[in-house]
A and B are shown apart, each in its own frame.
Chain A
Amino acid sequence: MRAARLKAQIEQTLPAAFTVYQRQESGSLPTGIPQIDNAVCGVPLHSLTEICGSNLASSGKTSILASLLAQATREHFCALVDACDNFDPASGQAAGISLPRLLWVRCGKSRGPQNGRFCRSGVESRVKLPPLEQAFKVADILLQSGGFTLIAVDLSGIPERVVRRVPLSSWFRFSRVIERQPAALVFLTQEPHATSCASLVLRVSTAVHGWGDCPALFSGNLLTQWNLNVEIVRGREKKPARSERTGFSLPTQWA
């Protein structure tokens, strides 16, 4: 009785003190690549996902994102926040993306502050934000707005040392906001940064057997396909004791 009374008193002050936090029942978006879909059941909704890969070498992260967008835009509206303006619409359409259903936000491309002097509230001239901050702010706005089933943020063009400085609280906030929405938030980075805030972390690389080998397949004078490896660094259910690897190959647009 005493414990019950004590519990009631605490709940009067802190109503959510004894509430058991339950995760949303999450669905998933298929990536369109059978090997990945079989291994992780697609990209989870209500969650933050990271797809990592080198920026210098070809890793295949953009191809996976394009395939994911192609699958998602069949039935949903999606947004791509492009921090360094690297998206190629022709490649996207060749991958099957329904471009009218894709909101493309090109960060870091505006002309900068205007020359007018009058009718500015606050500061005289607006300070142009760096692309990383622009991308985060836009992602925040899109999350607040709702209605987009897939929000992809491409940060892979931003230097690694800059992304590393993003505080963990930012990733945590994103993961908590996306939990309440029927949407998937996907970050494209060079290295994993969100740590435990991400439900799924994939690291993509080119399958090389030896130094100097070229993993691509050339047919005569045509580059036709190359082989890729995907490492599941963090899965949806639990972090694997040892990361799993799966391999597949992607053809070129003209193959």
Chain B
Amino acid sequence: MFACIYIPDFPVQASLLPEPAETRTALTHSPIAILDGPANLPRVFAANLAARRAGIQTGMTKLQAGLCAGAVLRNRSFAEEESAQSTLLDCASKFSPRVESTAPGVAILDLSGTKKLFARQKDSQRGTSRENSPQNEAWPRALRTITAAAAEAGFEVRIAIAANPDTAFLVARGFSANTIIPAGEEAQHLASLPIETLPLPPEMLETLNRWGIRKFQSLAALPTVALVERLGQEGLYIQKLARGAIARPLLTIEPNPDFAASFEFDDPVETLESIFFILSRLLQDLCSHLLATAQAAGELRLTIGLNVRQLQTTKRRDAAYRISPQIGQDSKDAPEGEQSEHVWKLPVPTQDKNLLFSLVRLHLEQTSFSAPIRSLRLEVVPVKPRRAQGNLFAPPAPEPEKLEITLERIRGVVGTTDSEGNDCVGAPLLLDTHRPGAFTLQRFSIVQDAYSPAHRNLSPSKNIPASTISSVRLCVPCGPSFRRELNQNSAKSTLSFSNSSPSPQSTPVIALRIFRPALETTVELDGSKPHFVRLWSCPRRVLAASGPWSSSGNWWNTAAWTREEWDVALQTPAGPGFYRIYRDRLRRQWFIEGVFD
């Protein structure tokens, strides 16, 4: 058996689909007409029942349709229709793996082998055994279940179940209610349908009208040989359709590998609320698609098209954001092609629309753009959903999904990067260099910890750029870092390795508080040793000094550095303070790097 899901007035319903459920319900009973055609003379392309009752007909001009009181006129959007068709196919795919996209607003699914599925669904709800339920009740249940799923997706549909796909399509299109045609009774049920229901070319429809044939019954009763003599093979085909006697295989759709959704605004928007609403809808579609294909989002990409042409006179550009010209676009269209790209790499694959939307919303709330937004495109990189259970012996940690939201909220408070380009939020990672204070922040993630117990045994080369590794080989090992490494035991000799595990017998040591940036100062020398150091505008006597420790590096490029380091004990009103000072030999300037605290 085959089921046909038919969406009446598909362009109208597709235009209503992005609206919230309440608005959609309110608009359903209003006269709505969809306009299509040249911009200077658009005509009514489709209208709903309320509009037809109000007198709006297909082919009317916009001016004529506008005369109808309360009529809502909308431009046809192919993107919305494609999105609606995709949603319809996703909905149909929930019930059968064999689905045909027959026409816009029409999907036919093969119900072979699904009788038990529908019977089991209802039986489990009622708590009765499957064996006691009559098998012939499965198709009415299928009708109800599919109708409910379509309503949940936002469609008002008509469904027909028949023994062949074309009969199901004609019945769904011709009758105003859900219908089940038992096998062998196709001709009897189709008899009352008007021949306009058939997909006929206008010439053939005119011919049949001239013959006085108005119903399927009349067409089916014509002698076959005489009909073929007059109308050819097409005549035979439509007669078989009218008899419900055509059996053909379904042209099933291939799983769509493109997990993307886009939206183009009629007029560029300047406020977040408008794009949040659309993004929510697009994410809903993508997550439905992911669910239908049993996949999850591993990465989310948002491409925002900016209407820079509008601002060409003002020449305002936002250089702070990653606005790059569209790849492969014509230079003529370059001003229209400015876009802003945002990527979220998710630590754990997810199908949760709310999580994805929160990530996007929190990020965009911190973002501003140089021009109004004209289009949105969301793309998901599908991966297999996470199936493994977390490690029972892993340390207690925030939920991975919740952690991403938390980090995004924190970035909203403290910012994303500092003036040097380092992240403001993350896990610290020491760079493999002798340059003092060299660090970066990597993405803070608990997934490695929770699901791979051996994460601590990562080799240092995995996370360290090759350039910094080469700098180690060439750096002069004469600085304080070298001094420290010499004095450390073998367990601590991996000081510069980022993922080394803490020594179980780690003993407390004196920590250094760094001043970022280092404080400029002046130092009075007694011979070669510091005697007085100016600390926050006050000269402080040096009680003891340890040094000098010389170090240098990167002499082969512009980032060269060379310094002479001292650890000094300064006399302050609050007591002795141990500071690290150094002299930058290139700049010939003294700095206070930090305080031992």
Contact = CB atoms under 8 A, between A and B. Distances in A.
Contact of B483 (A129, A212, A254): A254
A110 B574 contact: no
B253 interface: no
Contacts of B499: 100
A213 B430 CA distance: 36
A28 interface: no
Contacts of A147: 396-399, 402-403, 446
A212 B425 contact: no
Interface string B121-163: 0000000000000000000000000000000000000000000
A153 B546 CA distance: 32
A97 B271 contact: no
A60 B367 CA distance: 40
A199 interface: no
Contacts of B429: 89, 99
Interface stretch (A11-19, A117-125, A233-241): A117-125
A45 to B, nearest CB: 12
A141 interface: yes
A229 B594 CA distance: 21
Contact of A141 (B413, B500, B576): B413
Place the interface of chain B in its size category: 35 or more
A100 B427 contact: yes
Interface in B391-417: 395-399, 402-403, 406-407, 409-410, 413-417
B510 A226 contact: yes
Given A121-B273, A147-B397, A105 B576 contact: no
Interface in A83-139: 85-112, 114-121, 126, 128-129, 134, 137-138
Contacts of B368: 114-120
Interface stretch (B44-52, B324-332, B512-520): B512-520
Interface in B426-456: 426-430, 436-437, 439, 441-442, 444, 446, 448-449, 455-456
Give the interface SS of chain A, mostly helix, strand, loop or mixed.
Answer: loop
A101 B552 CA distance: 31
Contact of B547 (A61, A141, A221): A221
Contacts of A1: none
Contacts of B492: 94
A208 B575 CA distance: 8
B511 A63 contact: yes
B595 interface: yes
Contact of A118 (B270, B503, B571): B270
A142 B444 CA distance: 14
Given A96-B502, A119-B367, A88 B437 contact: yes
A3 interface: no
Interface stretch (A68-76, A163-171, A172-180): A68-76
Given A57-B574, A88-B437, A251 B510 contact: yes
B596 interface: yes
Nearest to A215: B576
A218 B543 CA distance: 12
B241 to A, nearest CB: 53
B510 A212 contact: no
Interface string B523-562: 0000000000001000000011011000000000000000
Contacts of A138: 410, 413-414
Contact of A92 (B270, B395, B419, B511): B511
Contact of A109 (B414, B444, B449): B414
B424 A106 contact: yes
Interface in A182-224: 182, 205-206, 208, 212-216, 218, 221-223
Contacts of B272: 119-121
A182 B396 contact: yes
| CB-based closest 7 A-B pairs | A110-B415, A96-B506, A116-B368, A147-B398, A67-B508, A57-B575, A109-B418
Given A109-B516, A206-B576, 14 more contacts: A57-B574, A93-B430, A99-B429, A99-B498, A101-B449, A103-B425, A105-B410, A115-B320, A128-B415, A147-B398, A182-B396, A221-B546, A252-B596, A254-B484
